[in-house]
């Protein structure tokens, strides 16, 4: 078993040194002989064992004695550890590719490819917003009534539901990616605006009125709110200007937004959003998957179109 672990280690080291390459070749020969149930006749295992013992004995005699006595079992342990760690490494790479995190979808543990955990960052719905904490129930669209929410490509076969907030940095990052994917894939795109700050509550009502008045113009309005400076979207004059530029009558929309009936409907809509059990934005539902935080574009694409999304 020592030959196997040596071959693996030396093959890796052999990338950097010719001496290790030649040792790796010896180890390979030894491995091939072992797997065909023949003894290793190159003396490789003896040679390496002696070298290792020679090194260890200068540090600790007891350690060398133990190593000499349990050399084969220790080799087995190292091989098993290697196989275990190799499995987790491969799994980590796969999960990172598919979910944007080495630990799995929406899992926040350390990931070497995303050390700062950007793929899982969300704007929590905080103190200044209606408090929504992660519940025991999983985040889901089950029992949530999506009627009345803005929809793009209503006839699309596949479905994307995006919960985001104009004031949320991570929503701003994810929105253009998801929106583009929805357009490219002709997927049904439902936008659930959920303000993470009270100051942007107002935009929920503006958005509701704008969508009711003209659904087509609505999306350019959303695009502008997501790309504008965050300080601007709380400014009424900016909202007016944006509404006008989108082709709306700003006065009409703002009047509608101040209507108590609108407030009631919007509150109802927000309570529907809360029913999803989400706890931060962006939260994206693609088909049956829930993606929390801004993921790399490929993760959304894989969720919508499968692993071979790029071949479609």
Q: Which residues bind another protein (CB under 8 A)?
A: 43, 46-47, 49-51, 53-55, 57-58, 61, 64-65, 68
- Considering the complex, state which of residue 44 and residue 189 has its C-beta at the smaller distance from another protein: 44
- Considering the complex, state which of residue 58 and residue 237 has its C-beta at the smaller distance from another protein: 58
What's the closest the beta carbon of residue 69 comes to another protein, in angstroms?
A: 9
What's the closest the beta carbon of residue 171 comes to another protein, in angstroms?
A: 57
Per residue in 12-26, is it b (16+ CB within 10 Å) or e — as a string? Answer: eebeeeeebeebbbb
What's the closest the beta carbon of residue 47 comes to another protein, in angstroms?
A: 6
Sign of the alpha-carbon torsion through 12, 18, 21, 26 = negative
- Considering the complex, state which of residue 30 and residue 286 has its C-beta at the smaller distance from another protein: 30
What's the closest the beta carbon of residue 75 comes to another protein, in angstroms?
A: 16
What's the closest the beta carbon of residue 9 comes to another protein, in angstroms?
A: 17
- Considering the complex, state which of residue 52 and residue 146 has its C-beta at the smaller distance from another protein: 52
What's the closest the beta carbon of residue 54 comes to another protein, in angstroms?
A: 3
- Considering the complex, state which of residue 75 and residue 165 has its C-beta at the smaller distance from another protein: 75
- Considering the complex, state which of residue 62 and residue 271 has its C-beta at the smaller distance from another protein: 62
What's the closest the beta carbon of residue 52 comes to another protein, in angstroms?
A: 8
Strands 123-124 and 280-281: antiparallel
What's the closest the beta carbon of residue 44 comes to another protein, in angstroms?
A: 11
Please spell the DSSP secondary structure of the chain, one letter per residue. -HHHHHHHHHHHHHTT-HHHHHHHHHHHHHHHHHHTT----S-HHHHHHHHHHHHHHHH-HHHHHHHHHTHHHHHHHHHHHHHHHHHHHHHHHHHHHHHSSTT-TT--S--TTSTT-GGG--EE--TTS------SSPP--TT---TTS-EESTT-SSEEEEEE-TT-HHHHHHHHHHHHHHHHHT-EEEEEE--SSGGGHHHHHHHHHHHHH-HHHHHHHHHHHHHS-TTGGG-HHHHHHHHHHTT--HHHHHHHHT-HHHHHHHHHHHHHHHTTT--EE-EEEETTEEEES---HHHHHHHHH-TTGGG-
- Considering the complex, state which of residue 68 and residue 124 has its C-beta at the smaller distance from another protein: 68
- Considering the complex, state which of residue 63 and residue 138 has its C-beta at the smaller distance from another protein: 63
């Amino acid at each position: 078993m020592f030959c196997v672990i040596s071959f693996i280690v030396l093959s890796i080291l052999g990338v950097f040194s010719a001496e290790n390459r030649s040792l790796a070749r010896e180890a390979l020969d030894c491995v091939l002989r072992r797997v065909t149930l023949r003894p290793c006749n190159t003396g490789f295992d003896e040679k390496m064992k002696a070298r290792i013992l020679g090194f260890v004995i200068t540090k600790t005699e007891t350690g060398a004695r133990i190593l000499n006595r349990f050399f084969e079992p220790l080799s087995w342990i190292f091989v098993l550890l290697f196989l275990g760690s190799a499995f987790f490494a491969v799994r980590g790479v796969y999960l990172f590719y598919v979910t944007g995190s080495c630990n799995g979808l929406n899992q926040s543990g350390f990931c070497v490819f995303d050390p700062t955990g950007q793929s899982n960052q969300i704007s929590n719905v905080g103190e200044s917003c209606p408090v929504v904490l992660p519940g025991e129930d999983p985040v889901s669209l089950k029992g949530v009534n999506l009627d009345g929410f803005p929809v793009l490509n209503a006839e699309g076969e596949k479905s994307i539901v995006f919960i985001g907030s104009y004031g949320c940095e991570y929503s701003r990052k994810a929105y253009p990616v998801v929106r583009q994917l929805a357009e490219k894939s002709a997927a049904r795109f439902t936008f659930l605006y959920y303000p993470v700050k009270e100051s942007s509550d107002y935009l929920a009502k503006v958005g509701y009125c704008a969508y009711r008045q003209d659904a087509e113009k609505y999306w350019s309005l959303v695009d502008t709110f997501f790309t504008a400076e965050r300080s601007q979207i709380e400014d009424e004059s900016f909202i007016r200007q944006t509404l006008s530029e989108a082709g709306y009558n700003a006065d009409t929309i703002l009047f509608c937004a101040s209507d108590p009936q609108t407030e009631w409907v919007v509150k109802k809509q927000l309570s529907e959003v809360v029913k999803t059990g989400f706890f931060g934005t962006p939260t994206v539902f693609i088909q049956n998957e829930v993606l929390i935080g801004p993921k790399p574009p490929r993760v959304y694409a894989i969720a919508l179109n499968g692993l071979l999304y790029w071949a479609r």
